Each structure stands twice: as C-alpha cells, then as structure tokens.
Amino acid sequence: MTGYTPDEKLRLQQLRVLRRQWLTAQELSPREPVLPPRKTWPLETFWNNFLRDGALWKKVIFKTYRASLFTVSHKKPYAIVDTKPKIFPGDTILETGEVIPPMKDFPDQHH
C-alpha cells in the first residue's frame, strides 16, 4: 500500500491550514508593537520642553549645561596621589624609628 489514507490526507491538510493561520497571525500590523509611554525624569522633561522650538540660543544653553554637568560629575577629588615607598626587612620607619625585623625562615615550606 503506497500513499496516504483519506484520514491521513485530511489530517495533513488540516495541519497545513492551521500552520498557515498561525504564520499569518504572527505578522505585525503597522500599529504594533504598542509600547508603554516612556517615563522621564522631571529635569529631562524640563529640557525637552525648553528645546522644543529649536532656538539656537536654547541649544547653546543646553550644551553649556551638559558640559558643566560632565565636568562636575567627572572631577576627581584627590587628583595628586603619592605612592608609599616600599618597606623591606632591615629598613627604618622614619615616623617611629622602628626597624623592620628580618623575615622568618620556614624550612618545611616550599615558599
């Protein structure tokens, strides 16, 4: 016996129709996706309203604000950093006059 039985043919046809329906249902309409409105911070809302008309003087004020904000927020509080000098066994600590004792030998360890 070769070929499909009438029941198998009907089932395959129904599956093809269902697959086609599923594929057409996956297509997005021009109105999709519908995203929720983006929440903005109050300051961002202020600048958006301020810059709405696109006047040149307003753009200059905004660029100055952004540059000053960047400068203030990226300023390092302690710009000059001195590294401490290395201390070795036998050295003297200047502040206390203490001498660093020699390192202990550990003959049983591989270090």
Average pLDDT over residues 28-32: 88
pLDDT tens readout for residues 38-90: 899 999 999 999 999 999 999 999 999 999 998 888 876 666 667 788 888 88
* Rounded percentage of the chain residues whose pLDDT exceeds 70: 91
Host H or E run for residue 47? helix 42-50
* Rounded percentage of the chain residues whose pLDDT exceeds 90: 48
pLDDT classification of 17: cutoffs 50, 70, 90: very high
* Domain limits, the chain: 41-73
CA 84 to chain centre: 35
Say what the pTM is: 0.40
